[in-house]
Structure 1
């Protein structure tokens, strides 16, 4: 999976601007695929050169022109090749897990601080994804909702594991 594959997937549904693609990513797949404008726009330029997308310039009064990108037949073929290719193994890169792995080189207080920070982030993600599910879940396409519910459960699992570890660390301090 790369940036081009994700962009082609969004454009498979409908033509979009780079800004629209970024907004769609933030509102749907950002908890498992993150992208910045600095990655989206170069990918779109490259894809246009390769004939995977076509750009239509839309004139706007009082605003800069809007570039609308649409997937081409070659883009559809490439996206289908991606969907039919073997799934890459999931690689989890986690700063907090690396730090905790080497936790013996710091203080228990520092580890508790990290865990509380990570818990707060995951609780916020859990709340946000649940809010999206409550607002849109019933109308959401089945497969999109599956990924949303996966994110909800993953955030919930992280919060629960951190709660368990914080409890253990706090009990150690009382002994």
Structure 2
């Protein structure tokens, strides 16, 4: 997956500012795709240059104009083309698992501390995942599609199972 396609997917739901896109990333797909604010803005600029996204300036009183981004027809075509393509499997890199693989070199006390720390990190991730259904309920009000909701929950379930 590319950040470009994730942004196109969100803009296919409705127009967003770059700031609002960052918030929606952090409350929806963060468990499998994260992006910082500068990456989002760079990608929005690239998508605009490609003609896949259009930007509209909305005047605000006593504040700079808001830049609201909309998906274009060619952006929708690109999104559908990408969605229809066979998925590319990501690289299965996991630094913690490489450490576990070679952990026989460590004394038991150090291993226990390492595994307790790893378990604490995983519990923290699980706590984040447990917040996602709450966010999905909020998004369900904005995008009332049971089909969309099903696939959102499917990705969450995958995230939890792959921990």
Check whether TM > 0.5.
yes
Among 125, 132, 143, the alignment partner of 2:151 is 143
Unpaired runs of at least 5, structure 2: 141-145
Q: Give how far 1:64 is off.
A: 2.6
Q: Hey, which bits of structure 1, 4+ residues long, moved more than 6 A?
A: none
Q: Which moved more, 1:102-111 or 1:69-78?
A: 102-111
Matches within 5 A, 1:55-74: 55-74=55-74
Separation (CA, whole Å) in 1 of partners of 2:103 and 2:153:
37
Contact 1:18 1:37 in 2 (8 A): yes
Q: Which moved more, 1:84-93 or 1:71-80?
A: 84-93
Name the Cα RMSD after superposition. Answer: 2.2
Structure showing the higher strand proportion among its residues = 2
Q: State the structure with more CA Rg.
A: 1
Contact 1:47 1:53 in 2 (8 A): yes
CA gap of 1:99–1:54, structure 2 versus 1, over 3 A, is same
Count of paired positions? 155
Give the alignment's TM-score, normalised by structure 2. Answer: 0.83
Q: Which moved more, 1:92-101 or 1:16-25?
A: 92-101
CA gap of 1:107–1:80, structure 2 versus 1, over 3 A, is same
- Structure of higher RCO (CA pairs closer than 8 Å, 6+ residues apart): 2
